[in-house]
Structures are given as C-alpha cells and as structure tokens.
Chain A
Amino acid sequence: MTYNIEVNNLSLKYKNFEALKDVSFKLEDGKIYGLLGRNGAGKTSLLSILASYRQQTAGSVKIAGAAPYENAEINQNISFHFQTNYEEETEKVKNMLSMVEEYRPNYDAEYAKYLVELFKLPMNKNVNKLSKGMQSALEVIMGLASRSPITIFDESYLSMDAPTRVKFYNELLKDQENHPRIFILSTHLVSEMDYLFDEVLILDNGKLLLHEDYETLISRGMSITGNATDVDEFVKGRRILSSQQLGKTKSVMIYEERTEKIENAADSLGLEIGPISLQDLFIHLTETEDSHESK
C-alpha cells in the first residue's frame, strides 16, 4: 500500500482568521519534504489536518486514496511529532517507547534501542525530568522508530543542540534509504536542513507559495561574485536578494533563472556564478509576498 497524499483546495478558518487558503498539492511515497513558512504561515495548521488533529473547513485530503479523518487504518500509519510539553509526563522513557511499540504497526524496537543509545537517552528516567533537548530526542526517536509510512516532524528538533540535530539528520537520511516513506519536515532552520529535502513547499499567509523540486528551486537564483564595480554593473536591473562586500570583492544574490546567456555574460566580465541558498530564496520569496499583501 502506498501512502501518497493528495490535498485539494484545502482551507481552514478559525473564527476571525483564515489559516489556510485554497491549498493544493500531492506528496509521493519515499520522498522527504521540507515545509517552510514564516511564523503564522499555516504550517502547523496544515500538518494538524494531515494528522487528523483537526478537520478542514473546506477542500479535501486523501491519503492512500481515502479521507484520513477518523480512519483508524490510516491514522495508525501517520506519526505527527511536534514540540510537546512534557512537564506533567511522569512516565519513564522506556514505558513511553513501549506504548508507541504497542500502537504503531511498523515500530522497530531494535532500531529504537539503537537510537536511544545514539542519543544517550536514560531509559529509566521520568520524561518530565529530562532536559528539553533530551525530550526532543525522545520525540524524534519515537518518530523514527515508528517507521510510519507518513512521518511528520513539526519543529520537534528545535530544542536539540547543533551536534544532536546533525545526528538526527544523518539518521533520518540513513533510515530513509533503507525504509523509504514520506517525511514532512517543517522548519525554520532552513540553512542547516536544506540538503535533506527532495522537494520543498513554502507556505505564506496560509497560501501555498510554491511546491518544487529542491534542485529546480535553487536553480531559480544564483550568486554573482567578483570585482565590486563589475558586479554592480552586471546586476543592474535584476532582482537582488542580498549582497555582501569584502574589500573590492562583492557577492550578490539574484533571483533569476540560470541560463547559458547569463553564464556567458558573467564569464566575459570575469565574474563567478555560484548557487544560491534555499535560505536566501525563502527569505526573499516570503518577504516580497508580504509586501504584496500589504499593498
């Protein structure tokens, strides 16, 4: 059974606020999706609908061809992990894991054990006594070891320190290779996670701004580096995302398809063309959309 996700014209309205507006996309089995958006863009609202935490106001969601809401068969195959408040969770780590084992059909106890050792999680400690970082580690261990066909991490790694996050990213890639599934990773940490994504979805003000292959997306922009005056001359009239200068050398990010014509033009001026980062692109795209909104 493949757990493809199909979302059509999805909208979610709270009392006086439209959290999601007419969102449509398809996600395929075996890919890692990055869900980006600024605060309040609607990321968690979207994910909570996919995980049946709430119902949409309009539009449809289909997972494995059926509506997931209150569908026992589908729900047990969707894992949704977010920054959970464990202040009152007095259960021990090992009991939490055995609960997950009991309810998740694809749970791999051996793998969970390996992850517990990797993240140095104390099995006999009460969950509320763990540090925030450790609680995050527990959250991602539950998510990874469940091996659910659809696994969603909504910023659940924010409290982990940088080395632990890298461990998590490595594990995620490794396990995806052996047990492919749909991962949806929502994040603010664009610059350190971009290499994980097969495809990227950007939400802005409740609308789906874009859904594209990672490679295609970053080929939409480039960095031009070289002598400051030459660079300034070259980028005149183009959409500039950001610029940096060190002495006489300047580097400018522009938003434009990388074509042979541009490459030749830059070449003739002795300028170097480099890739743009997803982070820069994300900041630029959501900023311009913001200014459109306010007009």
Chain B
Amino acid sequence: MKANSVMKVARDIYIEQMKWSLWFIGIMMAVYVGLSIAHSYIDFSSANNLFLFSAGSSMIYMFVIGIIAGATFLPQLIKLGITRKTCVYSMAVAALYLSVSLPLIFSLLALIEALFSGLFQFSIASFALYVFSIFVMYLLGWIINIGFYKFNWMIGLVFIAFAIFIDYIYALIWSGSIVALYNLDMLFTETFETVVRYSNSSFLISSVQTLLLIAIMLIIIRLLTKNMPVKIK
C-alpha cells in the first residue's frame, strides 16, 4: 500500500491556498484600478504597474497566511493519517508554489496592462526578489504560529522577536538595494542594473545567502514540529 506522497498533499494545500489568494489578487486589482483612476485627479506617487504595486502587500498577505496555515493544515492532515514530516514538507512545497504563482500572476496582469500603456518593466532579479521575499514572509508567519501553538503565549512572543531578527537578517542581505524590508517594493521601481550597481554584494551572492536563510528556517520548522503534540479539539 502506497503512503500519501508529499507532492499529492502539497498539491491539495496549494489549491486551498490559491482559493484564498484569488480574493487577495482580486482586491489588489480593485485597489490598483481605483488608485490609478484617482491618480488622474490627485497627484501622488504610485507604483507604475500591478507587479510593483502588489509586492509590499503580497509580503503582508503571505505573512498572514503563513500564520493561518500552520494552525489549519497540520491538525487537519494529521487527522487524515498524514505524518508530521509529510505535512511540513508538503506545506513548504505548497508555499513555494504560491510564492512563484503570485508574482507570476501579477506579472501577467502587468503585461496585460502594458498592452494599453505600453510600459512594461520586468527583470529576472525583481521577480526572484519578489519570490524570495514573500516566501520568507510565509515562513516567518509559520514559525510564529508554531511558537504559539506548541508553547504558550509568552514563548510565542519570543518567537515573534525571533521572526523580527530573521527579518532583519533578510533585510541586511539585501541592504545595498533596500533600506528595510518593508520598503522592499521600492526596489522594484529600479531596474536590474541599478540593483546590481547599488548592492554591496552582487545579486547572486544575496540570492545564495537568502537560500541559506530559507534552508535554516525550514530546518527550524521541521525540528520544532517533529515531536509536536497535536491538539484535540
């Protein structure tokens, strides 16, 4: 008898999270269109396409669903007879799918927009940074959730502090091009060349450092959930 595979579980989690994400994408589109219309009347600076406009919000969105996902999927999947290991691996894979899907969808929307405006900026670097940033945020939300779920609220607060620390390291990795993580969307207004020029380190080195940080976070999540009791309620 074949056990339930990581890819199968990941697909189901991904589909579920994409259902949530359709709402988010819809709302982002509505806000963007609304602001664009307002922009013709009032003068304020706004990002010049949906891809750039959505970056900051996507990070917050991924952070929030990272928090929700930890509490939602693990008890559900354990109840279906899935092991913690499969659960955690599947959630990580699903989060990665989602982290690629969101910028991809916003890029396509920006492309459609470009058909009308004629303006389309796209670089592999900004796309990669978008993926990295929202994936990291998801993992941070997930770690905080584990802190509260596995331990008590006081230790949960320690986990928040830890998440802020990781967040700081992440900002440091990209510090040449960004001041703080929450200003990250500023980066997207720059082209790939300017990113490289202003970075203390090269894009490639920052990417490797980011992957390393992600690997550390995933190991922490796996270790914390390995023997985690699942609540019965």
Q: Residues on A close to B: CB < 8 A?
A: 44, 48, 52-55, 70-73, 75-80, 82, 84-85, 99-100, 102-105, 148, 154
Contacts and interface: CB of A to CB of B under 8 A. Distances in A.
A55 B81 contact: no
A79 B79 CA distance: 7
Given A44-B232, A77-B81, A78-B81, 7 more contacts: A53-B232, A54-B230, A55-B229, A70-B226, A71-B83, A72-B82, A73-B1
B123 interface: no
Given A76-B81, A104-B81, A53 B1 contact: no
Interface string B1-19: 1011000100010000000
Contacts of A148: 81
Given A72-B86, A73-B1, A102-B12, A53 B81 contact: no
Q: Interface majority SS on B: helix, strand, loop or mixed?
A: loop
Contacts of A100: 80
B39 interface: no
B4 A76 contact: yes
B201 to A, nearest CB: 40
Contacts of A52: 78, 83
Contacts of A77: 1, 81
A104 B81 CA distance: 8
B86 A82 contact: no
A82 B232 contact: yes
A80 B79 contact: yes
B4 A103 contact: yes
B232 A48 contact: yes
Interface of B: 1, 3-4, 8, 12, 78-86, 226-227, 229-230, 232-233
Contacts of A53: 78, 229-230, 232
A70 B81 contact: no
A-B pairs, top 5 by smallest CB distance, nearest first, are A72-B3, A54-B229, A76-B81, A103-B80, A53-B230
Contacts of A70: 83-85, 226
A148 B1 CA distance: 13
Nearest to B85: A70
B20 to A, nearest CB: 11
Contacts of B227: 55
A75 B226 CA distance: 15
B13 to A, nearest CB: 12
Nearest to A76: B81
A71 B82 CA distance: 9
Most B Cβ at <10 Å: residue of A54, A72, A82, A85: A72
Contacts of A99: 12, 80
A55 B170 CA distance: 35
A81 to B, nearest CB: 8
A85 B75 CA distance: 12
13 contacts: A55-B227, A70-B83, A72-B4, A75-B82, A76-B80, A78-B81, A80-B79, A82-B232, A84-B233, A102-B8, A103-B4, A105-B1, A148-B81
